[in-house]
Amino acid sequence: MTREALLRTPAPFTPPCAYCDRETAAPVVVGAGDWPNGCRFVRYACPACASEHGAGPSPEDEIT
Ligand SMILES: [Zn+2]
């Protein structure tokens, strides 16, 4: 049985940080765009990395 089942609440939105790859409960959007195939993507960072790297998309950032 999971914690969510016990509490009857949905799992929190915890996307992986684009910089340190750890899941964060307080994601900050640091980039977004569209793939050539039409899929939309959004990059999130944890608050620590967002303050370190700065929020907002950067042309020098690459998804590796
Ligand atoms: Zn991070």
User: Position of tokens 């996307």?
Assistant: 15
Q: How far is the CA of 36 from the centre of ligand 1 (A)?
A: 27
Instruction: Give the total number of structural domains in the chain.
Output: 1
Cβ 49 vs Cβ 25: under 8 Å: no
- Structure confidence at residue 20 (pLDDT): 96
- Structure confidence at residue 9 (pLDDT): 72
- Structure confidence at residue 58 (pLDDT): 56
Protein residues placing their CB within 5 Å of the ion ligand 1: 17, 19-20, 46, 49
Which residue ranges of the chain lie beneath pLDDT 50? none
- Structure confidence at residue 56 (pLDDT): 58
47 is a domain residue: yes
- Quickly count: other Cβ atoms within 10 Å of residue 26's Cβ: 13
- Structure confidence at residue 11 (pLDDT): 76
> The domain containing residue 27 runs over which residues?
10-53
Phi then psi for 44, rounded to 5 degrees? -120, 150
